[in-house]
Amino acid sequence: MGWRLQDVGVLCAIGSILACSSPNPNLRATRLPDGSIEVKGPLAGPFPTLEALAMNACAIVTSQPGASSGVYGFEYCALNYYSPREKAYFLSYLSDFKNRPDTTTKTCALPNLLDDPGHRDAIIVGGSHGHPHNRRFSRSDLSIWSNWNPTRFKGKTTEQIWDRHLMLFYRERTGECRTYLYNQSTRIVYALRNDKWVAIGKAYNDMGDIQMLEGQDWLP
C-alpha cells in the first residue's frame, strides 16, 4: 500500500501559535479501509541493540514539529522492529493519527501494520511514542487494554522469545531526551540511564496504575 499524502494530517506548533507547514516527510502512515494503520519503514536503523534504537528514536521523535511544545504539542508514534537476517533493530516512519480524533486529548494511535519491502523478515517487537508535556507513561499506556497481544511470543524463524514493549520519549527544556520502556509482558517500567535499562516501577492493576520501586522515580 503506497503512502497517500492526503491521508496524513500535519500540524505545526510555534509557542502557542498554530500555523500551517509543508508536509512532514517523516509522516508515512495510512489508515486502511478496515481502520487499521499501516506505516512504512525504515526511518532509522540498523541499530545493534534496543538501547541504541531507543536513544536515536528519542532524538528523532522529539524533534518533530510540536513534539516538545508542552501543552500545545502533539504526539507522534512509530513501530520498533527487528530483522533476524541483519541482526539489527529499526524504527519505522511516524504516524500522527489520534486514538480519539474528536477530542483535544494528546494521543497517537500506534500503527499495527508495517510496510518495509526490504525487511520481509521483520519482527514487530514494540512501539514508540512521544509526550510533548509529560515524561510519565499515562494510565492508558500501562493499561492491559493497550497491550499488543500476545505480549510474549516466539519468532517464526528463530527460537528467540520476545516480550513486546512500549517506549516513551520526552525532551526536557534543557534539551536532554528521556527514554522509558514498558514491558507489556512483565508490566515493569524501565528508564534508559547511562545506556542501560533500569527498572523503576511496575503497573499493578488492569487500569495501569504504577507502583514505583524503592528509591526510584521518573528522574534519576
CA atoms within 13 A on the CB side of 43: 26
Q: Which helix (H) or strand (E) holds 170?
A: strand 165-171
122 found inside a domain: yes
Helical residues (DSSP H) of the chain, grouped into ranges: 50-62, 139-142
| Confidence (pTM) | 0.88
What is the C-alpha to C-alpha distance for residues 184 and 199, in angstroms, rounded to an integer? 14
**C-alpha cell at position 129:** 511514542
pLDDT under 50: residue ranges of the chain = 1-20
Cα–Cα dist 60/45, whole Å: 12
Residue 146 lies in a domain: yes
Confirm whether 11 is domain-assigned.
Answer: no
pLDDT at 5: 28
**pLDDT value of position 168:** 98
Structure confidence by residue, pLDDT tens digits, 95-135: 999 876 655 667 899 999 999 999 999 999 999 999 999 99
| pLDDT of 70 | 87
Three-point CA angle 204, 196, 111, nearest 5°: 60
The pLDDT, as a whole number, for residue 104 is 62
- The total domain count for the chain is 1
So what's the pLDDT on residue 55?
Answer: 97
* Residues 65-75 pLDDT 10s: 999 998 889 89
Domain containing residue 120: 27-212
Closest CA to 78 of 35, 42, 36: 42
Instruction: Collapse the DSSP code of 157 into the 3-class scheme (helix H, G, I; strand E, B; otherwise coil) and give the result.
Output: coil
170 assigned to some structural domain: yes
Cα 38 to Cα 6, 32, 114, 150, 171, distances in angstroms: 15, 7, 6, 19, 27
Q: Please tell me the predicted confidence (pLDDT) of residue 101.
A: 63
Strands (E), 6-109: 12-14, 17-19, 29-31, 37-40, 44-47, 77-83, 88-91
Question: Residue 130: inside a domain, yes or no?
Answer: yes
Helices (H), 18-75: 50-62
